[in-house]
Amino acid sequence: MYGPTVQAREVRGGIHFHQGPTAPAWPGPPRQLLPVPANYTDREHDLDALNDLRATGLTLIVVSGPAGIGKTTLVSKWLRALGAEFPDGQLYADLRGHTAGDPVRPAEVLGQFLRALGAGPPPTDAVELGALWRSLTAERRMVIMLDNSFTAAQVRPLLFNGPGGLVVVTSRRRLTGLRMQGAGFHQLDALGTAAGVELLTRGIGAERVAGELPAAHRLVTLCAGLPLAVCLASARLATRPRQSVGALADALAQNTDGGRLAALDVEGETSVRKALDASYAVLSGGTARLYRTLGLLPVRTFDAVIAAVSCGESLDWAERRLDELIEANLVEDVGPESFRLHDLLRIHAHGRAMDDDTSAAREEALRRFCDWSLYTATAAQERLTPVQFTLPRIYAHRPEVPLPFADDIAALSWLDSHRAHLMDAVRLAASRGWYDTSWMLVDALWPLFLRLRHYTEWIEAHKIGLEAARQAGNREAERQMLNSGAIGLGAAGHTDEAAAWYRESLRAAREADDPRDEGQALLGLGACHREAGRPADAVSHLTRAIAVWEACGYPRGAALARTTLGEIALATGAPGEAVDCFTRAHAALVAVNDPHDAARALAFLGRAGARVGAYEEGTARMKEALAVFNGSGAVFWQARTLEMLGDSAAEHGDGTGAEQFLARALALFEITSPADARRLGGGG
């Protein structure tokens, strides 16, 4: 058993006691490696928040935050300023909630508190001890600081009800159980960059920091805004006057695993790693496993579903353990159903996983995350593009959680909001050699790329997916990646590269005697020729695509090619020919139940109709198509249709209507297609 150990007038088992208004200054925290400046600006708002809590009449305040965030320093500074308001004295105890050994028992602290107040030998009976404590403090105006508390149960016996008294508790846990005692709560956040640089300056000098200010900013960022980490970095630099700030920052940046924490060790002193180890050590078994798993995942943020599936547990299991991690300030709640680990915490969690889990357990957690990503993205794909041909999916660990969407809008929204996670899964699967999972994920993201036009991710994903399909030896998947990747390259304006991918796909399709893929490659090459300003070559390829697809009985493909033929006719001054192409394409796409592409054909049909003089009928068709795109969330095609409506209104003499349609189109292009936004806005 360890008792609290800090100095006072005399050392009394670790209790600070200062009697009356002439007592010495509130003692500084003995565990702090370097003193945090008393006036660093980033914490002024925290001092204001504490004053606001006290102004409401609260007699119990809890200040919480992760290890190394500066809780003790902040509260010590605040209480020093309030010393004159507590004429009956100040008491301090370190409850050792996260140090080696067991936390201090409340009875031990009470006994030492009573001795500090001159009560003589305290009773051994816990009930008598509590009664004597309440009796001696009933009329006292005093303040108690209970530092490094572990649980609400540890704190409750130490509370008192003296008039004007105050108890301030610091803890790495949120101690929400103290709400029953009427506590007010304040959570400490990480330091801002300016305050972190000021803290660094106090340790190594203004001249040294000013000479490398950008590196100092980077160093503070790498310390995740933890004052303890900044102090440790400052201590290393202070003992190495010839080392540049940039060199230490580079060393930290290069260490994305436990090496960064090792670089913040200072011999003989508390380190960030030791502080986090202490917080980790008191987690329950399941919560510790979740913490380790979260450290392995490639994602920056996560929700309860990701936590559940990665551990192979239920959503209820994950939610309960996330609550424990939040309570312990090891996980941060950053938004509706969204959580994150700060950088140093993620590094620590990853290190614990490497130390405490088997390689098989680590592999399973990562594979479960990838399989869940594939499973859910595939479900969204099947809902959004049901007529599109997809290759079979395989799973090592098929998820058992419910799907997070029930309609098209929600499915597309899920794909978009999880876009970064899904790309992380694509990269992770490829890097681990799970090649089938990688290319399948890329294939499942097709409706996201098609409807929302995230060109950078579209191209990157397909380059990864193409290599993964080749590594897997799956020629059919390779052609799928070539075709859908080439569409993205062409849409992004990389016409020559897109044509090269289509030519490679065409050769592979003919070698495999696959007419569906052959037609897709011909369609793509036709689109490339069209973009390059070669309409005759485009028509030749598109006509061949239609012939191939009609011969193998694929009417949807033929309809898509006719849609592109209609676009060429519309652009080359043949709107009547375009009307015929779009009419046939629309009818075929409706027949095969492809609402998205049918709406595209309908929008173009309306535009062509307006060009041949059927303005009212054409406008009605374009608005009907726009309603489909609005309902499905296809923002890019909303913009295209609005542009067509604007052009048609302008040709019809409706300047006001044209201006309104085109303004709406421009606003949507700005978030989906910058090139189209520049074109429509006159920027090139």
552 or 271, higher pLDDT:
552
Chain mean pLDDT for the chain: 84
Amino acid at 656: T
- Given strand 166-171, what is the order of strands in its sheet? 15-18, 90-94, 143-149, 166-171, 60-64, 184-187
Tell me, what's the pLDDT at 260? 53
Question: What percentage of the chain exceeds 90 in pLDDT?
Answer: 49
> CA separation (Å) from 233 to 227, 239, 244?
10, 10, 12
- Mean pLDDT computed over 285-314: 94
In this structure, are residues 260 and 250 in contact, taking their beta carbons and an 8 Å threshold? no
Tell me, what's the pLDDT at 472? 97
State how far the Cα of 375 lies from the Cα of 403, in Å rounded to an integer. 9
The three-state (H, E, C) secondary structure of 636-649, written as one string: HHHHHHHHHHHHHH
Label residue 8 by pLDDT band (50, 70, 90). very low
Q: How many CB atoms lie within 10 A of CB 259?
A: 14
State how far the Cα of 167 lies from the Cα of 138, in Å rounded to an integer. 14
Helices (H), ranges, 56-101: 71-81
263 or 585, higher pLDDT:
585
Q: Which token pair is 97?
A: 């909630």
Instruction: List the single range of 122-126, 390-394, 520-524, 589-593 with lowest mean pLDDT.
Output: 122-126
Amino acid at 550: E
Residue 214 has pLDDT above 50, yes or no: yes
State how far the Cα of 125 lies from the Cα of 128, in Å rounded to an integer. 5
The pLDDT tens digits for 326-344 are 877 788 776 667 888 877 7
Tell me, what's the pLDDT at 406? 93
- Mean pLDDT computed over 243-272: 62
Label residue 40 by pLDDT band (50, 70, 90). very low
Amino acid at 222: L
Tell me, what's the pLDDT at 202? 76
Residue 30 has pLDDT above 50, yes or no: no
* 570 class by beta-carbon count within 10 Å (0-12 exposed, 13-18 middle, 19+ buried): buried
State how far the Cα of 616 lies from the Cα of 155, in Å rounded to an integer. 76
Amino acid at 406: A
State how far the Cα of 571 lies from the Cα of 535, in Å rounded to an integer. 10
What 3-state DSSP class applies to 339? strand
Q: Which token pair is 249?
A: 């920052």
Tell me, what's the pLDDT at 230? 72
Sign, CA torsion 631/633/637/642: positive
Label residue 152 by pLDDT band (50, 70, 90). confident
- Mean pLDDT computed over 24-44: 40
What 3-state DSSP class applies to 357? coil
- Mean pLDDT computed over 367-394: 93
> CA separation (Å) from 163 to 119, 141, 381?
20, 6, 65
97 or 520, higher pLDDT:
520
132 or 434, higher pLDDT:
434
Q: Which token pair is 261?
A: 């924490």
The pLDDT tens digits for 364-376 are 999 999 999 999 9
Instruction: List the single range of 5-14, 101-110, 516-525, 568-577 with lowest mean pLDDT.
Output: 5-14
Instruction: List the single range of 106-110, 617-621, 649-653 with lowest mean pLDDT.
Output: 106-110
State how far the Cα of 619 lies from the Cα of 273, in Å rounded to an integer. 66
Bridge partners (DSSP) listed for residue 339: 302, 333
Residue 147 has pLDDT above 70, yes or no: yes
1 or 564, higher pLDDT:
564
Tell me, what's the pLDDT at 440? 98
Residue 32 has pLDDT above 70, yes or no: no
- Given strand 301-302, what is the order of strands in its sheet? 301-302, 338-340, 332-335
Label residue 148 by pLDDT band (50, 70, 90). confident
Q: How many CB atoms lie within 10 A of CB 255?
A: 16
In this structure, are residues 589 and 604 in contact, taking their beta carbons and an 8 Å threshold? no
Residue 7 has pLDDT above 60, yes or no: no
CB under 8 Å, gap of 24 or more: what pairs does 405-408 form? 405/379, 405/380, 407/383, 408/383, 408/384, 408/631, 408/632, 408/633
- Mean pLDDT computed over 517-527: 95
Q: Which token pair is 673?
A: 């297609």
Residue 240 has pLDDT above 80, yes or no: no
Residue 166 has pLDDT above 70, yes or no: yes
Label residue 231 by pLDDT band (50, 70, 90). low
Tell me, what's the pLDDT at 379? 96
The three-state (H, E, C) secondary structure of 401-444, written as one string: CCCCCCCHHHHHHHHHHCHHHHHHHHHHHHHCCCHHHHHHHHHH
450 or 124, higher pLDDT:
450
